[in-house]
């Protein structure tokens, strides 16, 4: 359990964007593979398969939170209006919201 806590905390430290994070990520993947934790091995393998996107996420300051918020609001309106009105009213509510 102590190993899992250490691996999780060291990964959490990578989530703040910083220029040195790609080297730290490689170190973390190595440490995760050395640990005897199968689920962490699977997570590290998934990170390794998409290393370019992960590297961009941990080094760049660009976020897509605003876009995700708009998508969430649109889906919420769509769910609320399901079966009540047509596309025109849904479009109008989205544009006014």
Average pLDDT over residues 21-43: 89
Q: What is the pLDDT of residues 73-90, one digit of tens each?
A: 989 888 888 888 788 888
Q: Which two tokens stand for residue 28?
A: 């973390």
Q: Helices in the chain by DSSP H: which ranges?
A: 2-12, 21-34, 38-49, 51-59, 65-80, 87-96
Q: Is the pTM of this model over 0.75?
A: no
């Amino acid at each position: 359990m102590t190993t899992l806590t250490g691996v999780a905390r060291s990964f959490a430290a990578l989530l703040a964007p910083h220029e040195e994070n790609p080297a730290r990520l490689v170190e973390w993947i190595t440490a995760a593979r050395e640990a005897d934790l199968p689920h962490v091995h699977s997570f590290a393998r998934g990170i390794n398969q998409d290393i370019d996107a992960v590297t961009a996420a941990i080094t760049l300051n660009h976020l897509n939170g605003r876009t995700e918020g708009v998508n969430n609001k649109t889906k919420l309106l769509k769910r609320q209006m399901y079966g009540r009105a047509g596309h025109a009213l849904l479009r109008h509510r989205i544009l006014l919201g």
